[in-house]
Amino acid sequence: MSARASGARGRLQVKHKDLVRDEFTRQAADFAASPQIRDRDRIDRLIAITDPPRDARVLDVACGPGHVSLAFAEVCREVVGIDLTEAPLRIAEQSRQERNIANARFQLADADRIPFPDGHFDVVVCRFAVHHFDDPRRMVGEMARVCRVGGTVAIQDLISSEHSDRAEYYNRFERLRDTSHTRALALSELAQTIASAGLELMRFSSDQFDNPVERWLKTSQTPPDRAAEARAMIDRDLKEDLSGATPKRINGELFFTFHLATVCARKLPRRDRGTSG
């Protein structure tokens, strides 16, 4: 990449990160309290599929209010949660103190440049954040870098359709709701991103749940004009089947389906990296 192109990319990234900080500063309290985010059964299933050793040193990337970090801390040796935004980190630290969890800590850091040496962690986990990243390959590459050879990288995220027009329709109404949403990847892209980071897929699970549109818009405090546009897109999707999010009305209330994928991958020795696809 030329110096000019890389300078332009850098400026775009800074702009995007400002959007992330704005959104998650405003949303911090409502996001942390959201039943879907707190859902302990879903977090326990993430821990079960990750299967961390008890003596694991764990990194939670883009940890937000720390629900995942603190659950891992209950079953592992040590957890560090990093996030770009201070407001959710303050909530994470407050819950840590309230729950008297001594083996977790939180710090401000960018997934783009994780401030730890190569191979520092046994397990690296990242939930619901890849769709906010402006460069998922680079960030998953960073997760792989700080994981030890043979350690586990576990990613849980929203996924979109394998059909690009349908995926783009879905990502468009997500972006209207939250300007820091970049793009939920298709499952095949997530798998390819993992492979190109020198990771080998070990376990996989999928899940879906009905998302109530009005609560979703309230959590993000989306301004009325953008909320109206997102609602109109979802309504049209309900009638015309445009995104794969299969909107529906239940007792008059509008929902659409979140499709989630969880992938657990093992970091390969250097000799086996770089041979994917």
**What does the binding site for ligand SAM look like in residue numbers (CB under 6 A)?**
20, 24, 37, 62-65, 67-68, 83-85, 88, 110-112, 127-129, 132-133
Specify the residue, 263 or 268, whose C-beta has the smaller distance to ligand SAM: 263
Specify the residue, 128 or 173, whose C-beta has the smaller distance to ligand SAM: 128
Q: What's the closest the beta carbon of residue 14 comes to ligand SAM, in angstroms?
A: 11
- Which alpha helices (H) appear in 129-253, and where do they start and end? 136-146, 164-177, 187-196, 213-219, 224-240
Q: What's the closest the beta carbon of residue 227 comes to ligand SAM, in angstroms?
A: 18
Q: What's the closest the beta carbon of residue 129 comes to ligand SAM, in angstroms?
A: 4
* Phi and psi angles of residue 110, each rounded to the nearest 5 degrees, phi first: -100, 130
Strand pairing category for 147-158 and 121-127: parallel
Report the distance separating Cα 101 and Cα 32, nearest Å. Answer: 18
Q: Which residue is nearest to ligand SAM (CB)?
A: 64
Q: What's the closest the beta carbon of residue 200 comes to ligand SAM, in angstroms?
A: 23
Q: What's the closest the beta carbon of residue 43 comes to ligand SAM, in angstroms?
A: 9
Q: Is 116 helix (H, G, I), strand (E, B) or coil?
A: coil
Specify the residue, 84 or 195, whose C-beta has the smaller distance to ligand SAM: 84
What is the b/e burial string over 101-130, where b = at least 16 CB atoms within 10 angstroms of the residue's CB? beebbbeebbbeebebeeebbbbbbbbbbb
Specify the residue, 36 or 276, whose C-beta has the smaller distance to ligand SAM: 36
Specify the residue, 63 or 199, whose C-beta has the smaller distance to ligand SAM: 63
